[in-house]
Structure 1
Amino acid sequence: MTQTPDASRFAHVTDWVFDLDNTLYPHHTNLFSQIDVRMTAYVSELLTLSREDARALQKELYREHGTTLNGLMKRYGIDPDDFLMKVHDIDYSWLVPDPVLGAAIHQLPGRRFIFTNGDRTHAERAARQLGILDHFDDIFDIVAADLTPKPSHATYEKFTTLHSVIGTNAVMFEDIARNLAVPKKMGMTTVLVVPNNFEPTFSEIWESDPDHEDDVDYVTDDLAGFLGRIVADR
């Protein structure tokens, strides 16, 4: 399910911006599911709830506030550092090094960034396990965003201002369509990354959102292949 990139749409790109979870590594690795389980456990322990009630609340906070962390901070005033440390205490060995993806990212002309709602430590561990960490110029994490997650417009403004990114010269890769709305308004080319062999019935991690179809320029279930074609056509 990969659309062939039009070389002319990427010829001007000088800044390549990538989400991390379920984007730079594929959904089927189930890495994010470990984080998801730990977030449920955190909510359960914090509020003395059953796992089922904690998970329901966790998803409610996510829907209303963009991330579970943001919701917990606003409703319950939790310590974000404690939350980030506990939910990212996971096994990264599930990630398989991806030399093909690494080579494609390395060949992209210009700067390359990881832009994540997770924290820097998580991003570094995941990217290092994939073998791609050294190919990035910087990581913009939830702490750099003052704990305000995508899709907040202010968070994208912080990122573009910090790194002097001009939207019309950038492309954003994301697995959640609504997180591409602001980049699209900024003039970025947008690419939605979906699970391999994506089925329309799947909606737990990848969030199909008809309201944001116009914010997506390309869809791919093979990020390495998509980038490889861009590099080959330049």
Structure 2
Amino acid sequence: MTQKTTAPDAAAFADVTEWVFDLDNTLYPRHTDLFSQIDRKMTQFIRDLLDLGHDEARALQKSYYRDHGTTLQGLMIHHKIDPNVFLEQVHDIDYSWVKPDEALGEAIRALPGRKFIFTNGDTTHARRAATALGILDHFDDIFDIIAADLTPKPAAATYDRFLARHGVDARRAAMFEDLPRNLKVPHDLGMRTVLIVPRNLDTVLDEVWEHEGRDGDHVQHITDDLSGFLQAVLPGA
């Protein structure tokens, strides 16, 4: 089995020049409570669309998320919704919950090479969240669900599209994610993989299946402190 480290291993990242970060519950932590706003908006969207009660709408939302990678993908497949309308409505949220993270910004700025946000959300949401964190200017680009042709992670074609669009050599790249299943393809492509977990490793996530794969070989590193991890793997750290 691949050695899984919770202590940062600078040697494992010595040749990384491409740094790729998920957004929600990764660049900002789960306890920020930002994504819960989006989650509630998605439930309400389904209630309004299909005239369902809260519990039924939420169950459908979660099943689409599990089976299709995003709730949006499930709604597009089964109900032919306009993705732009969905993305606009569910990202109409209060970003004041996200506070500037100077330590994270400094760590990202100091990383050698290029830095990307790779999200199943849209660019507008990513820009707003990254701006609130005070880290937007440290990134070279954002690869969002529109750039992915509306096909979300963990689909292999989406990672291929990201790599091709930006000329990224996967063997020189590292991927940071909060969902183990979204690290399988990056690992297979040769990327270093880092799973971001809540501060309390025993915290139960919203859905049990979100834990699945945490112990797999495709998860090489685990941390509950992204900025500390990045600082520890900087050259000369």
TM-score by length of 2: 0.95
| Distance apart, 1:203 and its partner CA | 2.5
User: What is the alpha-carbon distance in structure 2 between the residues aligned to residue 6 and residue 205 of structure 1?
Assistant: 30
Residue matched to 1:55: 58
Q: Which residue pairs with 2:147 in the alignment?
A: 144
Q: Is the 8 A contact 1:178 1:212 kept in 2?
A: no
- Shift in CA distance, 172/99, structure 1 to aligned 2, threshold 3 Å: same
Tell me if 1:112 matches 2:81: no
SS in 2 for 1:192: strand
The count of corresponding residues between Structure 1 and Structure 2 is 232
Cα separation, 2, equivalents of 1:198 and 1:90: 28
1:175 correspondence with 2:178: yes
Seq. identity, %: 60
Structure 1: how far apart are the matches of 2:67 and 2:101?
A: 34
Q: Tell me, in whole angstroms, the C-alpha distance in 2 between the residues paired with 1:205 and 1:96.
A: 26
Stretches of structure 1 that go unaligned for 5 or more consecutive residues are none
Q: Which residue of 1 aligns with 2:31?
A: 28
Q: Which amino acid aligns with 1:179?
A: N
Tell me what 1:230 maps to: 233
The letter for the 1-side match of 2:174 is V
Shift of 1:64: 1.1
Measured in 2, the distance between the counterparts of 1:232 and 1:14 equals: 11
- 1:214 Cα deviation from its structure 2 partner: 1.0
Hey, what's the Cα distance between the residues in 2 that align with 1:186 and 1:232? 24
1:5 Cα shift?
1.9
Unaligned stretches of 5+ residues in structure 2 = none
Q: Give the equivalent residue in structure 1 for 2:11.
A: 8
Superposed CA offset, 1:36-94 (max 9, x none)? 00000000000000011100100111111110000000000000000000000000000
Q: Could you list the per-position Cα deviations for residues 169-221 of structure 1 after superposition, in whole angstroms to 9, with x for gaps in the alignment?
A: 0000000000000000000000000011221x513168211376211010000
Q: Distance in 2 between matches of 1:182 and 1:22?
A: 19
- Residue 191 (structure 1) aligned with residue 194 (structure 2): yes
8 Å CA contact 2:18, 2:115 repeated in 1: yes
Aligned runs of 1:214-229 on 2, under 5 Å?
214-229=217-232
Match of 1:43 in 2: 46
Question: What's the counterpart of residue 132 of structure 2?
Answer: 129
Taking the aligned partners of 2:191 and 2:139, their CA distance within structure 1 comes to 19
Greater shift in the superposed pair: 106-115 or 207-216: 207-216
TM-score, normalisation: structure 1: 0.96
Alignment partner of 1:219: what SS?
strand
Please provide the CA RMSD for this pair. 1.4
- Equivalent AA in structure 2 for residue 193 of structure 1: I
Q: Report the CA distance between 1:232 and its aligned residue.
A: 5.6
Instruction: Kindly state the Cα deviation for residue 126 of structure 1 after the two structures are TM-superposed.
Output: 0.1
